[in-house]
Amino acid sequence: MKKFKVSFFYHGYKKSETFRAESKSHLFDSFSKKYPNLKILSYDEIFQSEQIEKLKIFLIDFLNLEKVNDDSKIVFISQIAIMRDSGIQILDILNSTKSNDKNLNQAVAEILRHLNNGLSLTESFKRVENRLDHLTSVMVQLGDNTGKFADAMLKLKKMLEESRENRDKLKKALTYPRNLFIAMGISLFVMIKFVVPQFQSIFARFNGELPIPTQILIWSEKFLSDFGIYLLTSSVVGFFLSKYYLKKSKRFAKLYFKFLLKIPVIRELETYSTLYRFSLIFSELVNAGNPIFKSLEISISMVENLVIREKLEMAQDKINFGGTIYSGFIRSEIFDNIALQMVNSAEQSGKVGKMFLSISEYYKRKFQQIAENISSLLEPLFLTLMGGLVTLLALGIFLPIWNLGEF
């Protein structure tokens, strides 16, 4: 992506502004979209070193700086659905789209440029998946192929809203445990770093062996003083490296998801949310008239958890070789008995799309049930940890004083 400095008259004053564009024609398109009644006086390309440009591209990708936020995306999709249902052409809809979200404006400008260059609507949306997402391009393709574009956009809006709602519920439910964990960590740090050293001069006067809790506290204070900065640095570096390899390394991502699925509560949340999303997309694709095999392939491609995706692909292989959906899903070993019975009933009745919508609602309820009760599920664990730490601190400080006569 090139960078241009553009000069133009705006309300009688000469103004300069920086634009990003792949070519001069793209530059003029972007300028015309932002300032439809103005003309460019002059423009100059801003050259940067290749290393700096590569670093900027890496940071944009790594930090997801090009992503359109969920609220803007939902408003955008809703606007398309309403206007398309009113008979307005998609080009007119996109040209009229204005948003405070810079990333959305850039995504729309790119879509328009691809359309003007002769690409289909589906292909144009696929080119901006880095700004929107894969689900959006899939639903655009669905609407484009079936001729029911407004319906497809309304379904996409519903899926995005439900996904946001589930995510917000989980964040709200995790607020109390998170704050409790942070408070516990800060308290432990303050006690070890500032309180324990005050007692070390007293402990040093004892000739006998100190109690084990006291030795643990002294060792913790020494470790924190000697290696605390290295521990903090390595934690920050490790976090960013993990995030990088999670995006770039399939092997690392698989190990990460495998670890995630071994943690109680988190395992259920991840599994239920994934199966809810998979079942919902599959039902919408089937109900729109797509073949079972194609619907299954697209739905599985939407699964982000690589471990669950691999199990669903095993089910897909069995189905592709003549097996039933029921037998394939038994092979996957991720659906519970109730969901499997619903799948079996769906095949026997021929209402696959309708039944998978019910399955998605089933997993949605299970996810929400855990999300709403996660505080009560985690509270005993946090209280036990906090009680253990308080006991350790109390014993570590007061045992030597109580046993003073033995030294």
Mean pLDDT for 68-84 is 87
Q: Is residue 60 a part of any domain in this protein? A: no
For residue 197, give both structure tokens.
């050293």
* Whether residue 93 sits in one domain with residue 33: no
- Alpha-carbon dihedral sign for residues 33, 35, 38, 39: negative
For residue 53, CA distances in Å to 4, 48, 56, 180, 244 come to 14, 7, 5, 42, 18
C-alpha closest to that of 338 among 358, 320, 318: 358
pLDDT of 125 over the 80 cut: yes
pLDDT of 203 over the 80 cut: no
Report the alpha-carbon distance of residue 159 to residue 154 in Å, rounded: 9
Q: Is residue 55 a part of any domain in this protein? A: no
Please give the single-letter amino acid code of residue 95: N
In which element (H, E) is residue 164 found?
A: helix 149-190
Q: Tell me how long the chain is.
A: 407
Helix residue ranges, H only, 266-351: 266-287, 292-301, 306-320, 325-332, 337-349
Q: Which of 129, 144, 161 is the last residue of a domain?
A: 161
In which element (H, E) is residue 77 found?
A: helix 70-85
- Half-sphere exposure in the Cβ direction for 200 (13 Å, CA): 16
The average confidence (pLDDT) of the chain is 82
| Residue 137, domain CATH | 1.20.81.30
Q: CA-based diameter of the chain, in Å? A: 91
Mean pLDDT for 244-252 is 84
Mean pLDDT for 368-395 is 81
pLDDT at 208: 64
pLDDT at 311: 92
Enumerate residues 6+ apart whose C-beta is below 8 A from 73: 104, 132, 133, 136, 160
Mean pLDDT for 149-175 is 83
* Whether residue 393 sits in one domain with residue 288: yes
pLDDT digits (tens, 9 = 90+) for 285-329: 888 777 888 888 888 988 888 999 999 999 898 888 888 888 888
pLDDT-derived band at 363 (thresholds 50, 70, 90) equals: very high
217: number of Cβ within 10 Å? 24
Q: Which of 161, 189, 210 is the last residue of a domain?
A: 161
Angle between helices 325-332 and 306-320 (to 10 degrees): 150
| 300 and 319 Cβ atoms separated by less than 8 Å | no
Q: Which long-range contacts (CB under 8 A, 24 or more apart) does 331-338 make?
A: 334/271, 334/275, 334/308, 335/275, 338/362
Q: Is residue 59 a part of any domain in this protein? A: no
pLDDT at 62: 53
Q: Is residue 64 a part of any domain in this protein? A: no
pLDDT-derived band at 358 (thresholds 50, 70, 90) equals: very high
For residue 353, give both structure tokens.
């799309």
How many structural domains compose the chain? 3
Q: Is residue 236 a part of any domain in this protein? A: yes
Q: Is residue 26 a part of any domain in this protein? A: yes
pLDDT at 275: 92
pLDDT at 391: 86
Mean pLDDT for 348-361 is 87
- The whole domain housing 385 covers 167-407
* Whether residue 276 sits in one domain with residue 399: yes
pLDDT at 54: 57
| 99 and 82 Cβ atoms separated by less than 8 Å | no
Mean pLDDT for 203-213 is 72
* Whether residue 283 sits in one domain with residue 226: yes
Report the alpha-carbon distance of residue 148 to residue 146 in Å, rounded: 5
Q: Which of 140, 161, 182 is the last residue of a domain?
A: 161
Report the alpha-carbon distance of residue 40 to residue 20 in Å, rounded: 15
pLDDT at 56: 58
Report the alpha-carbon distance of residue 118 to residue 126 in Å, rounded: 14
pLDDT digits (tens, 9 = 90+) for 56-74: 555 555 555 678 888 888 9
* Whether residue 210 sits in one domain with residue 326: yes
pLDDT at 43: 81
* Whether residue 81 sits in one domain with residue 25: no
pLDDT of 196 over the 80 cut: no
pTM: 0.71
* Whether residue 171 sits in one domain with residue 33: no
Give the whole-number percent of the chain exceeding pLDDT 90. 8
For residue 376, give both structure tokens.
């009560």
* Whether residue 186 sits in one domain with residue 152: no
pLDDT at 405: 56
Please report the DSSP string for 209-278 in residue order: PPPHHHHHHHHHHHHHHHHHHHHHHHHHHHHHHHHHHHHH-HHHHHHHHHHHTTSTTHHHHHHHHHHHHH
* Whether residue 91 sits in one domain with residue 203: no
pLDDT at 128: 84
* Whether residue 155 sits in one domain with residue 35: no
* Whether residue 228 sits in one domain with residue 279: yes
Paired strand residues for 43: 6
pLDDT at 118: 85
* Whether residue 294 sits in one domain with residue 156: no
Please give the single-letter amino acid code of residue 47: F
| 370 and 272 Cβ atoms separated by less than 8 Å | yes
